[in-house]
Every structure is written in C-alpha cells, then in structure tokens.
Structure 1
Amino acid sequence: MRAAVRRRYGGPEVIEFDDLPDPVAATGEIVVRVHATTVNRTDTAYRSGKPWINRAVCGLQRPRVEVLGSEYAGVVIEVGEDVKTFASGDRVFGFVDGRPGAHAELVAVPVDGLVARVPDGWDLADAAPGMEGAHYAHACLRVTGVGAGDRVLVHGATGGIGSALVQLLRAEGAEVTAVCDRVPRGRPDVLTELGATQVVVGEVDGLASGFDAVVDVTGHLSFAQARPLLTKGGSYVSSELGRGGQNLLLAAFGPAARALGQRHATFPLPHATTELAVHLADLMDRDAYRPVVDRTFDFADLREAYAYVDTGRKVGNVVVTMPNGTG
C-alpha cells in the first residue's frame, strides 16, 4: 500500500511517501480501505513531536509509528477474528488516536474504539472529519455538566473542536456564545448556522458575566481571564494544558471548589468508546451535527495540507482524499 510516513520529527518537509506492506486484521480489528482522511491538530503534534509531552507516546528520539494520520472514512475490506459488529463492505469512519496510520491506502483499526458506520446519504469525504474534533468537544461538554437552558461561551469556535462543540451544545439545548479571532471570509454566518446565539469577534473584554461554563479550545484564554465571566459555581474548561501545565493543576483543585459552589477549572479527558462513536454518527444522521470542512487536498498534496493546518487559520477541518476514493 501507499502511505505517508515520517521517520523523524519536524515540519511538513519530513513527510515522505512510501510503499509498505498491507496491514492484516488482528483479533478485534478491521482493515479499512481509506477513501478520505484529514489533517488535524493531533496529526501535527505527532508529526512535530511538540509539545514535548507527546513524545512520551510517540517516541522520545524518533517516532515509534512511522505512518501518519488519525482520522479516516472508507470501506471495510477485512474483518478480524471475534468481530461481530462490522462486515466487509461496510462504510465506516473513525479516529485512531495513539496508533496513527490513516494517511495510507489501508488502515487496521480496533472495533472497540471510535469507529462507526457512515450514516446513509453521507459522502465518505464529508464523514471523514466527524470524530477527532467532536470527541474532544464531547469531553469538554461532559465535564461541564451543562444542559438545556445553560449559557456557555466557546472560545476558539471556528476550529475543528470549537465548531463541533457549538453543535453538540446546541443539540443539548444550551445557549452558545461563540468567540473567534476573525469571521471566515465568504462564510460570515457560519457560527450562527452551527447554532450559536451570539458571535463575538475579538476579545472577551466587555462581555457580561453569567456563563455557566466557559470552554477554551485553543489555549488562548486562561482561567484568570475566564473567571469574571462565570456564574457562581461555573466551570472553566480548556482542551490545552496551559502555560506550565497550569490547567491540570487548577483542575486538581476543581472538585473542592465546585463542592463549595465556587468558580472552578476542570480538565477534559476524552473517552474513545464505541458508544461515543455511535452517538456522533446518530447526531450526523439526524442532521444535528455536521463537521465543517475548510479545504480539501489530494493525497499527493499532503505536505501542503499540513502546512496549511500549521498556519492556525483553518476553519473547522481539512480533508484529504485518497486516489480513486469515491462514495
């Protein structure tokens, strides 16, 4: 099979294309012929080895797994032993954090993680970005405990995680204020279309308090900045570690502060389960969630896709189509 690999950490220039042996489905796995994949923050971290904490998983000196890519959509071509939930020919999409390999013609994935059938009527390229950002967004939603009628501020709402979170919150009946650094050119209403009731371009200075939760998905809004915006007992959540890992430290004191009815920080730990995958697929089927696609690249232009994601200017997701990928 043809695959994109990197044998050292660095920028997009470290990516090479190589012919590798086809994967074989082990027990509890399926092999998927990839029709479309994505380039996301998870992928750029695996490629660059930054922040350094990623190397505890990826390999300290050099990558343990050479093939890049964490998100995919395609067709099952092989089913491993003890797999009862999928069959050859099924159209599936998923996310393989911790064991990349989706930037290739074929990928082997465990069926007990984030993988689900593509809803009827969905093209594989549209479904490919359905898991990575949404599963981080769902973790943020889960730790806040917000529900119908609650007010939530999403800081960094135009990114892959933020654009998914706005939709997941809307599906829960929450009132969403979406904050971004710019309105996308040609798509000025994208955030209201996703379900935001208020859109703020720029800083949060001047916003009135009263939010039950403030979620930072870019690492650019600290707890100190968010605290005045929260109601008493409100939650601050960030998907980033923060300067010096401060968000982890603040979250350690979160339960005590929450018990006292104070404003507090929590940290979202994603759960990569089949139940979550099925839930996201169901939301897509009901048109309650549709991943936003910014640009689409051919597999041959993968380096350019990575370079674009590195700019930090993408809106939603970047999709990469494989040669002869259809459906």
Structure 2
Amino acid sequence: MKAIVSNKYGPPDALELTEVEKPIPKDNQVLVKIHAASINFGNLVLLKGEPFLARFAFGLFKPKYRIPGGDIAGQVEAVGKNVQQFKPGEDVFGDLSGFGWGGFAEYVSVPESALALKPANLSYEEAAAAPMAGVTALQGLRDKGKIQSGQKVLINGASGGVGTFAVQIAKSLGAEVTGVCSPRNLDILQSIGADHAIDYTKDDFTQEAEKYDLILGVNGHKPISAYKRTLNPNGIFVHVGGSSAQMFQAMTLGPWISMTGSKKMGTFLQRPNQKDLLFLKELLDNGKVKPVIDRCYKLSEVHEAFRYFEEGHSQGKVVITVS
C-alpha cells in the first residue's frame, strides 16, 4: 500500500511517499481502508520532534511512529475474530493518536475502541476533520472548563480546527459564545453560530470591560495575567494551544493562581477515547456541529498540506484525501 513515512525529524520535506506492507488485523483489530485523514497540531510535533520534551513519547532521536496521521475516515475491510462492534463494509471514523498513529496511508489496523461509525450525513473528508479537534474542544470545555448553560464563553483562536468545533460545541451546551479571530474569518464565526465575534486586529478583549465565565485559549500569545483579569470571579481559563511562552505560564503560574484565588487557570492534553468520540458523533448526526474545512490535498501533496498548515492561518481543518 502507499503511505507517508517519516524516518527522521525535520520539515515537511522529510516525509516520504512510499510503498509499505499492508497491515493484517490482529484478533482485536479492525482493518480500515482510509478514504481521508486530517492534520492537527500533534502531527507537527510528530513531524518535527518539537518541543523536545515530546520526543520522550514520540522517539528521542527519530520518530517512533513511522506513519503519521491521527484522524481518519474510511470503510471497514476486515475485522479480527474478537471484534464485536464493526463488520466489513461499514463506514467509520476515529482518532489513531492513542493507538500508534498511521492515518496517512491507504490502510490501517487499529483496535475497535479507536473508532465509531461515521455520521451518515458527513463526507469522508468532513468525518476525518472531526475526531481529534472535536474531542479536544469537548474535553477542554466540558471536562476542564466545567461549562454550564447560560455562561459567557470566549474562544481565542475561534476560526481554526479546534476553535470552530469549540464555538459550536459551546453553543450546543447552552453557552453565550464570543469568538476571537482575524478580520477575514469573521464570516466563518457567524456561519457557525457565534453570538459575538471580536477582530483581534482592532480590539483587545483583555482590555475590555466584558468578563467571561470560561475562556478557551486555542491560539494566541497573551500573558496569563491578561486572561486572568478577563475572567469573572470563579471563572476558568483553559490553555489548549498558542505560543510556547503562554503554555509555559499556564503550566507553571496557572496552578499557583488556581490555589491562591477563586479563578482557575491551567492547561490540558486531549485524551482520545471512544466514549467522547460517540458523544461528538451524536452532535454531528444531529447537525449541532459541522466540520469546517479550509483545503483538501491529495496524499501525494502532503508536503504542501503541511507547509500550509504550518503557516497557522487555516480556516478550520486541512484534510488529506487518501482514496
């Protein structure tokens, strides 16, 4: 089969399109013919080996996982004898990041717990855009952010992959949502249901009188003190992505601020699991959440796809059409 292989850390040009052995499913595995995959920040970490601490999980000197790609959508081709949830011919989607990656290929074998049935109302490309970014948004808002209906929620970096899901999921959970983005993305926020949109080139939300019960920091470089003053008493700031300095402050100063005051501040890492994937599937099935796709690339164009993703200006997700 054809696959994108990473034998060394480096820029997108380090990736190679080559032929590898087609996997054979083990007793507890599902063999999926992949139709589409998508790029997330974790793919950049796996590609570059940066930040360096990530190499203790991904391989110290070279990538531990040769075939990158977490999010996939495709069709079940075969199942192991112990598989209970799926049968050949069914359409599925899932996040492989907790199961050895391998999404940038024509086939992959993974445990059935990595997958769920694909929402019937979505294309393969739309389904592949959803698992990692959607579950990240869900866990950040619901589990770490303790979101409640009626709360005022701000999403900084609302027009990217995680951000577009966060806006829609927060709305589905009953929040009043404000999104922060560049001027070219204001229409996108309106189209996905944001109640308010802030153009960060004109207005600094941390300098305004408006306060929020929950802030999800998906992108940005503001100091953690700026987020703190923008929170209501008992408000929560959740760092999902952004500058290294912002992440460092969230990891080091966040716990101190949380222990010494009523406002809670911290960071978290998404943990793929089937229960949350099924929760996301229900939102997708009901049309409460719809993936936003910026561009689609062929598997042979993965270098261009990564270079575009690295620029950090994508409107929603960047998708790889495999088959």
2:86 is aligned with 1:86? yes
Structure 1 counterpart of 2:2: 2
Give the structure 2 partner of residue 189 of structure 1. 187
Instruction: Name the counterpart of 1:216.
Output: 217
User: What letter matches 2:249 in structure 1?
Assistant: Q
8 A Cα contact 1:294 1:318, kept in partner: yes
Asked whether the equivalents of residues 219 and 239 of structure 1 are also in contact (C-alpha less than 8 Å), the reply is: no
CA RMSD of aligned residues (A): 1.7
SS in 1 for 2:183: coil
CA distance 1:119–1:309, change in 2 (3 Å): same
- Is it true that 1:97 corresponds to 2:97 in the alignment? yes
The one-letter amino acid of 1:61's match is F
SS of residue in 2 equivalent to 1:234: strand
- 1:266 partner amino acid: G
Contact 2:206 2:230 in 1 (8 A): no
Matched residue SS, 2:304: helix
Q: How does 1:197-216 map to 2 (within 5 A)?
A: 197-202=195-200, 203-216=204-217
Deviation larger for 199-208 or 49-58: 199-208
Q: Distance in 1 between matches of 2:219 and 2:151?
A: 22
Q: Give me the whole-angstrom Cα distance separating, in 2, the residues matched to 1:19 and 1:3.
A: 6
**Equivalences for 1:143-154 in 2 at 5 Å?**
143-154=144-155
For the 8 Å contact 1:240–1:247, the answer to whether it is kept is no
Distance 1:303 1:219 in 2: 25
Contact (CA 8 Å) 1:254, 1:266: kept in 2 or not? no
Cα shift at 1:208: 2.1
Aligned to 2:166: 165
How far the C-alpha of 1:267 sits from its partner, in A, is: 2.4
Query: Residue type matched to 1:189 in 2?
Result: D
Q: What amino acid is aligned across from residue 208 of structure 1 in structure 2?
A: A
Q: C-alpha distance in 2, partners of 1:182/1:45?
A: 28
Please give the secondary structure, in 2, of the residue aligned with 1:112.
helix
Residue 251 of structure 2: aligned partner? 248
> What's the offset of the Cα at 1:21?
0.6
1:246-305 deviation per Cα after TM superposition (whole angstroms, max 9, x unaligned):
312234346534xx5x11203234232111111111100000111110001111111100
Matches within 5 A, 1:129-144: 129-141=129-141, 142-144=143-145
Given that 1:214 and 1:236 are in contact with CA atoms closer than 8 Å, whether structure 2 keeps it comes out as yes
Contact preservation (8 Å) 1:154, 1:179: yes
Q: Letter of the 2:126 partner, please give it.
A: D
1:76–1:92 Cα contact (<8 Å) kept: yes
Single out whichever of 233-242 and 278-287 deviates more from structure 2: 233-242
Alignment of 1:239-318 (within 5 A): 239-240=240-241, 242-243=244-245, 245-253=248-256, 256-257=259-260, 262-318=262-318
User: Runs in 1 of length 4+ with deviation above 6 angstroms?
Assistant: none
TM-fit CA distance, 1:240: 3.6
Could you tell me which runs of 5 or more consecutive residues in structure 1 were left unpaired when the two chains were aligned. none
Partner of 2:177: 176
Unaligned runs of 5+ in 2: none
SS for the counterpart of 1:88 is coil
Paired letter, 1:296 = C
Aligned residues with identical type, % of pairs: 28
Q: Structure 1 residue 137: deviation in Å?
A: 0.8
Distance 1:12 1:238 in 2: 27
**What is the CA-CA distance between 1:205 and the residue it aligns to?**
4.2
**Aligned partners of 1:206 and 1:247: how far apart in 2?**
20
C-alpha displacement at 1:320, in angstroms?
Answer: 1.1
CA separation of 1:254 and 1:109: change in aligned 2, threshold 3 A:
farther
Give the counterpart letter for 1:56 in structure 2. F
CA deviation after TM superposition for structure 1 residue 91, in Å:
0.2
Superposition pairs of residues 49-68 of structure 1, within 5 angstroms: 49-68=49-68
- Matched position secondary structure for 1:320: strand
Please give the alpha-carbon distance, in whole angstroms, between the structure 2 residues aligned to 1:143 and 1:313. Answer: 26
**What is the rounded CA distance, in whole Å, between the counterparts of 1:213 and 1:145 in structure 2?**
8
The CA deviation at 1:155 is 0.4
Letter aligned with residue 239 of structure 2: S
